[in-house]
Amino acid sequence: MKKVVLRLTMVLAVMVAFNACKKGSDGGEPTPDPGNPPGNTGPIFPKKEVRAVWMASVYGLDWPRGDYSVAGQKQQYINYLEKFKAMNINTIYFQVKGMGDAFYNSSYEPWSAAITGTRGVNPGYDVLKFMIDEAHARDIEFHAWMNPYRVATRAAGGSFPALHSTVNPNWVVDFPTIRIYNPALPDVRQRLVDIVKETITKYDVDGIHFDDYFYPEGETLSDQADYQTYGAGAANIQQFRRDNVDKAIKAVYEAIVATKPGVIFSVSPAPDIAKNYNSLYADVKKWNQEGWVDVVIPQLYQEIGNQYNDFRLRLAEWTNNSYKAALMVGHGFYKFGDATMPAAFQSSGELQRQFDLTKLNQKVVGNAQYSAKYFYDNKVGVTDRLTAIYQNPAVMPFLGRAVAPAPAAATNVRIEGTQLKWNTTGSVRSVVYYFSDITKEGKVLSITTTGAVNANAAGYYCVSTLNADNQESAVSAMIEKK
């Protein structure tokens, strides 16, 4: 973009003209940030970003890591959130259904063994409410991460845990090391929809998130009888399997829209579109085209230049195939500093290079790191690197459906002594932008519910507002601080 000074009197008009939503209730194509429309010759506003981290609870990987005391679990989770807040991370994908289980008192699934060490045991507190409330208290979004089909795993020759009383044994299929809900069965799809509806009805989650496990990869599928029973209209058994997963994704999306439309639906597929299609029977490209997912987050865990899954090439592939879905990128944070990983991951510079690519990509609206516990390790300084990348707060992009009233713009923006002050109307947060030089990219100084911030530095300030859906108002005229 050509960076030239825009007359201050034109700023408000430009911002109003381009204050388009990322994706409205009509499911339209995403548009660039309202502050940076194509051909913009004015101030460069910082890119809106989802800054996310996955928190895995299966096997207690990230949480609670073997701590089965209530006080210990709560403190461990709060410590994570405090670290995320300090790093300007604004979203977590927390695994609330990893093994046909639940992180609340569900009508369908047993309590997760991750919480108490024993499947089906009530931990004595409302785990999910606690987690959501603590995240929201720090302005961090909470998305409930679910594995749609996995029920249990076992070691070779071992046994699976007993099925929950609400599970019909005919709904599950056993393989040597994994038990799954049978994707071919209408009852299984309805159960998945019901679980999602229960979760979003009982709890104030910001999103429902599915991972990359659909049909089990590498297993011999004996579903010929299912194909004969349910496969009318499918050209072959492979298409039948894809149709089954399509139906589940579509049904979940429609249930979210009908039940609680402000909730975001996201999926994090494997990096290779062809592998998703041919091995996992997940036609993610179709889901993006149809608008059945709001956000797609491919797991681009390989390095730039990888001979099989080159980060740069996969990013281009997903950019061209994200369609109606907003695009985020998943990074293999766990690989950095691991001596068994390729040379690229022995330096945090690889993460910087990946972020440089995603920042330049107008379709990418955010990044997610796998996974939370590795933030503490800081191997090869990778946590320090991410902290530096995220040194300033970021405005969350609008990714779902408009539910809350549109935010009214801030008024009476002014400098009083050493403070920038303004007035707002309604339930909104305010975004304060700062430009040391309006010919250069600015930064988000603060996202706040107050009507004042310190304005000690000389330069230019402006203010917008955000509603509960992350829709942003027009930005005020610039105020210069001498």
- Domain around 458: 8-44+402-481
Exposure string of 213-227, with b = 16+ CB inside 10 Å and e = fewer, is bbbbeeeebebeebb
Indicate the residue among 389, 423, 444 that finishes a domain.
Answer: 389
Q: 406-424: per-residue pLDDT in tens?
A: 999 999 999 999 999 999 9
Above 90 in pLDDT, residue 34?
no
Mean pLDDT computed over 343-363: 98
Do 449 and 307 share a structural domain? no
CA distance 329 to 89: 15
Residue 200 within a domain: yes
Say yes or no: 252 and 152 in one domain. Answer: yes
438 and 454 together in one domain: yes
Instruction: Note whether residue 205 is domain-resident.
Output: yes
Identify the CATH number of the domain in which residue 129 sits.
Answer: 3.20.20.80
Domain final residue, candidates 361, 389, 417: 389
Q: What is the pLDDT of residue 156?
A: 80
* Pair 240, 366 in one domain: yes
- End-of-domain residue from the set 366, 389, 412: 389
pLDDT at 9 over 50: no
Decide if pLDDT at 42 tops 90.
no
Residue 229: partners with Cβ closer than 8 Å, 6 or more residues away: none
Return the CATH number at 443.
2.60.40.10
ω into 64 cis (within 30 of 0): yes
Residue 307 lies in a domain: yes
Q: Is the pLDDT of residue 33 over 70?
A: no
Whether residue 367 is found in the same domain as residue 416? no
- Residue 17 and residue 158 in one domain: no
My answer on whether 214 and 83 are in the same domain is yes
Share of the chain above pLDDT 90, in %: 90
Per the prediction, the chain carries an average pLDDT of 92
* Cα distance between residue 68 and residue 118, in whole Å: 10
Nearest to 47 by CA among 438, 453, 433: 433
Are 68 and 142 in a shared domain?
yes
pLDDT at 8 over 80: no
CA distances, 361 to each of 35, 71, 324, 355 (Å): 16, 43, 16, 10
**Mind listing the pLDDT tens digit for each residue in 296-341?**
999 999 999 999 999 999 999 999 999 999 999 999 999 999 999 9
pLDDT number for residue 157: 80
Least confident piece of the model among 35-44, 270-279, 376-385, 463-472: 35-44
pLDDT per residue as tens digits for the range 423-440? 999 999 999 999 999 899
What pLDDT, on the 0 to 100 scale, is given for residue 13? 33
Q: Single out the residue of 448, 469, 444, 454 nearest to residue 44, CA to CA.
A: 444
User: For residue range 455-477, what is the model confidence (pLDDT) as tens digits?
Assistant: 999 999 999 999 999 999 999 99
- pLDDT tens profile 163-222: 999 999 999 999 999 999 999 999 999 999 999 999 999 999 999 999 999 999 999 999
Torsion of CA 194, 200, 202, 203, to 10 degrees: 150
**For 360-364, what is the mean pLDDT?**
97
Q: Is 168 exposed, middle or buried (0-12, 13-18, 19+ CB in 10 A)?
A: exposed
Q: Do 89 and 51 form a contact (C-beta atoms < 8 A)?
A: yes
**411 and 369 assigned to the same domain:** no
Tens digits of residue pLDDT in 14-26? 333 333 333 433 3
pLDDT at 182: 98
397: in domain: no
- What is the tally of structural domains in the chain? 2
Identify whether residues 383 and 476 lie together within a single domain. no
253 located within any domain: yes
Please give the C-alpha separations between residue 328 and each of 148, 188, 358, in angstroms, as whole numbers.
21, 29, 9
Within-domain flag for 394: no
Q: What is the pLDDT of residue 35?
A: 52
Q: Does some domain include residue 3? A: no
Q: pLDDT at position 22, please?
A: 37
121 lies in the same domain as 199 = yes
Instruction: Give yes or no: residues 307 and 321 share one domain.
Output: yes
Residue 1 inside a domain? The answer is no
Whether this model's pTM surpasses 0.85: yes
